């Protein structure tokens, strides 16, 4: 019945192998803009056209927030022993090894002492590419360690979350990390020390239901997925499609669970302003260079001993 | 007659035989035969329950006839007086809180309640608590702290409610806040997991000084079905997932997550709720006596140490010497 019919060759997709060297150009998943990787990095991995926030690795996160891009890392060597001897489709030990290989980290969080706007801070940044940023015993232990260092040195704590939640392969040991970290945060709270929680895409499950929601300030990056139950689990429960924008940063702002939604390029100055507000009045501002642990040479890791 | 589970098939056969015999006219010989069969039931049941797989334990923990919080409350406590509401939004009936006398001592009781018949299940939302439930629980616990009363918590929930309104009203914040505040409550907190310890939904009212668990209860970071769907991409692998997750009382005792296992009658608590209650009573009163002897400050410090020890260097964690990871990074 067609009036004009023509043999058409289907449009063939281009070769999977791109001729452009790996990582040189990145396409923005939101607006489709092709972005030169170096430009994107210089813009803190935010699309200059549509402000899409690309996921940031832990080290990029630290560079984006800490003065002079310098810090001292703690507990870098901690690694899970696979306490449950967990095997699913493949052994957990293999997943761990692959994650260590791929990320260069021993687990899904990097904890450091650094300076933010001249203030010594304890900071933890989660690494999503390490088994979905999931929290097992190592993540729980390292963040608890960061909180205890904040208490010992009376420093502010900043935790940047990026996690799918508790790590299944460590079972209830993972679950209990929620209680462990929260108990340490209780002490930090009563000691009147600042805790700023930064929630980035995604922050879900046991991480949201513990330290991510307990900040003196909860700051979310724009359009991040933030929630407790996964969207698919909820859809299965209610047997309906979820409303547009459900479990986004803006949704949480609307419902009163985050203090603000802040563009990544404004994050450092925003935290700096918060820390100025939260600084205990009795304490004199430290003179430059004093107690500057970040400036210590790399060869002497003074605080590399695991926290008790 | 309590329903038998699939793996209790040999018991079900015997029970059917007993029933058939008791339909017929009573004779001495027949009575003896029935008595013999009953002994056999006990024996077979004991055999089956002495080697339950983790997945079978999940089924026992979820058994519809398993005693729930209010069944224990009715048997163990005097003058239970329920209090309602979180003073914020609503009353969540999936979590029950109230004060009562326990061996002549005033205590606060909190716990999940699942409901048994359809109507009750709906009323209790199948034991899936919403944010209001967690907030009510903490409000009640603060009341206990104010009046120096110990807290006894019964844990039995599939999970915190995964629904739209749960997220809207901050289920994650409600649980997180409970975890933080329960860590500092200056009264003894005694936890008993009686059925399903469903992840954050359980933990949200289960931070305490002494954690007990019934023999056939389970406690898991994720339901085996969910774990199988994610890691095996096949919900049928729930049996394997239940194995892998190490969710049984014996496993949790080994990992130092619980402090003691409370024995259950043969065939599970639902076969003999009174016997199950006696065991629960013995374990609770013993633990409470010990906790009451501690000054509040010691309690709170020990509670911190208790959780601090879960997952540490030498227990689940090793320190691998690193070169260059402790550094001042510049690029």
- Identify the architecture of domain B58-309 in CATH: Alpha-Beta Complex (3.90)
Report how far residue A44's alpha carbon sits from residue A52's, in angstroms, rounded to the nearest whole number: 11
pLDDT tens sequence across B158-181: 999 999 999 999 999 999 999 999
Convert A34-70 to b/e letters by CB count within 10 Å (16 or more is b).
ebeeeebbeebbbbeeebbbbbbbbbbbbbbbbbeeb
Residues of A in contact with B179 (CB under 8 A): 178-179, 182-183, 209-210
Under an 8 A CB cutoff, do B304 and A213 touch? no
Q: Between vectors from CA B168 to CA B167 and to CA B169, what angle results, nearest 5°?
A: 90
Nearest to B180 among A168, A182, A206 (CB): A182
Residues of A in contact with B257 (CB under 8 A): 172-173, 176
Question: What homologous superfamily is domain A55-279 in, according to CATH?
Answer: 2-enoyl-CoA Hydratase; Chain A, domain 1 (3.90.226.10)
- Closest residue in chain B to residue A255, using alpha carbons only: B168
Chain B window 173-232: which residues touch A at a Cβ cutoff of 8 Å?
173, 175-177, 179-181, 183-184, 197, 199-200, 203-204, 207, 219-222, 226-227, 230-232
pLDDT tens sequence across A209-231: 999 999 999 999 999 999 999 88
Q: What are phi and psi of B149, to 5 degrees?
A: -110, 140
* Averaged pLDDT, B216-243: 93
Q: Where are the domains of chain A?
A: 55-279
Q: Where are the domains of chain B?
A: 7-51, 58-309
- Weakly modelled stretches of chain A, pLDDT under 70: 1-23, 280-308
pLDDT tens sequence across B276-291: 999 999 999 999 999 9
Q: Which tokens sit at A68?
A: 């002079």
Q: What percent of chain B has pLDDT over 70?
A: 97
Under an 8 A CB cutoff, do B240 and A227 touch? no
**Biggest alpha carbon–alpha carbon distance for chain B:** 93
Does a cis peptide bond (omega within 30 degrees of 0) precede residue A202? yes
Under an 8 A CB cutoff, do A228 and B167 touch? yes
Rounded alpha-carbon distances, angstroms, from residue B34 to B37, B47, B300: 5, 20, 55
User: What's this model's pTM, rounded to 2 decimal places?
Assistant: 0.90
B244 Cβ under 8 Å from any chain A Cβ:
yes
| Nearest CA-CA distance, residue B64 and chain A, Å | 20
Nearest to B207 among A179, A205, A301 (CB): A179
* Averaged pLDDT, B3-14: 90
DSSP H helical segments within chain A, as ranges? 37-42, 58-65, 92-103, 137-153, 171-190, 205-208, 231-238, 249-254, 264-278
Report how far residue B52's alpha carbon sits from residue A3's, in angstroms, rounded to the nearest whole number: 71
B325 Cβ under 8 Å from any chain A Cβ:
yes
Average model confidence (pLDDT) across chain B = 94
Asked if residues A246 and B165 have their Cβ atoms less than 8 Å apart, the reply is no
Residues of A in contact with B184 (CB under 8 A): 186, 190
SS3 call for A182: helix
The predicted complex's ipTM stands at 0.95
Nearest to B319 among A63, A78, A255 (CB): A78
Nearest to B247 among A171, A183, A257 (CB): A171
């Amino acid at each position: 019945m067609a009036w004009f019919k023509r043999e058409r060759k289907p449009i063939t997709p281009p070769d999977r192998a791109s001729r452009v060297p790996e990582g040189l150009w990145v396409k923005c998943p939101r607006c489709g803009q092709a972005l030169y990787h170096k430009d994107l990095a210089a813009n803190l991995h935010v699309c200059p056209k549509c402000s899409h926030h690309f996921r940031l690795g832990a080290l990029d996160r630290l560079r984006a927030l800490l003065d002079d891009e310098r810090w001292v890392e703690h507990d870098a060597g901690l690694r899970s022993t696979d306490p449950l001897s967990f095997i699913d489709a493949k052994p957990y030990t293999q997943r761990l090894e692959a994650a260590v290989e791929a990320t260069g980290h021993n687990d899904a969080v990097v904890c450091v002492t650094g300076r933010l706007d001249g203030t010594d801070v304890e900071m933890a940044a989660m690494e999503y590419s390490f088994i979905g940023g999931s929290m097992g015993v190592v993540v729980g232990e390292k963040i608890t360690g960061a909180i205890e260092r904040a208490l010992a040195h009376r420093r502010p704590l900043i935790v940047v979350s990026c996690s799918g939640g508790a790590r299944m392969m460590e079972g209830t040991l993972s679950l209990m990390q929620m209680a462990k970290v929260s108990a340490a945060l209780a002490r930090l709270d009563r000691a009147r020390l600042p805790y700023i929680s930064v929630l980035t895409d995604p922050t879900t499950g046991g991480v949201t239901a513990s330290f991510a929601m307990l900040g003196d300030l909860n700051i979310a990056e724009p359009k991040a997925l933030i929630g407790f139950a996964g969207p698919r689990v909820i859809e299965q429960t209610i047997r309906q499609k979820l409303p547009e924008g459900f479990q986004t940063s803006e949704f949480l702002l609307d419902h009163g669970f985050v203090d603000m939604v802040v563009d990544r390029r404004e994050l450092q100055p925003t935290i700096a302003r918060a820390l100025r507000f939260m600084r205990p009045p009795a304490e004199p501002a430290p003179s430059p260079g004093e107690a500057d642990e970040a400036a210590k040479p790399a060869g002497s890791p003074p605080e590399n001993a695991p926290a008790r | 007659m309590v329903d038998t589970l699939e793996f209790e098939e040999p018991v079900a056969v015997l029970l059917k035989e007993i029933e058939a015999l008791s339909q017929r006219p009573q004779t001495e010989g027949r009575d003896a035969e029935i008595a013999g069969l009953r002994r056999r039931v006990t024996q077979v049941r004991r055999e089956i329950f002495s080697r339950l797989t983790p997945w079978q334990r999940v089924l026992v923990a979820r058994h519809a006839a398993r005693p729930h919080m209010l069944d224990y409350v009715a048997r163990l406590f005097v003058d239970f007086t329920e209090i309602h509401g979180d003073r914020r939004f609503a009353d969540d009936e999936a979590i029950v809180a109230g004060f009562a006398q326990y061996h002549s001592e005033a205590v606060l009781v909190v716990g999940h309640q699942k409901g048994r018949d359809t109507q009750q299940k709906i009323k209790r939302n199948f034991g899936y608590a919403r944010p209001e439930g967690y907030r009510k629980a903490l409000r009640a616990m603060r009341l206990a702290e104010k009046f120096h009363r110990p807290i006894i918590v019964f844990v039995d929930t599939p999970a915190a409610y995964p629904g739209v309104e749960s997220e809207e009203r901050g289920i994650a914040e409600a649980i997180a806040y409970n975890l933080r505040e329960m860590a500092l409550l200056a009264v003894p907190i005694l936890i008993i997991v009686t059925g399903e310890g469903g992840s954050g939904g359980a933990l949200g009212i289960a931070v305490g000084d002494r954690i007990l668990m019934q023999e056939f209860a389970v406690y898991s970071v994720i339901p085996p079905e969910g774990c199988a769907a994610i890691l095996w991409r096949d919900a049928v692998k729930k049996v394997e997932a239940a194995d892998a997750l190490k969710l049984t009382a014996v496993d949790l005792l080994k990992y130092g997550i619980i402090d003691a296992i409370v024995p259950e009658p043969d065939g599970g608590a639902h076969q003999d709720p009174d016997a199950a209650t006696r065991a629960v009573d013995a374990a609770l009163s013993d633990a409470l006596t010990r906790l009451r002897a501690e000054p509040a400050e010691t309690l709170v410090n020990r509670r911190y140490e208790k959780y601090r020890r879960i997952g540490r260097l030498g227990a689940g964690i090793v320190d691998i010497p690193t070169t260059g990871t402790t550094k001042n990074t510049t690029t």
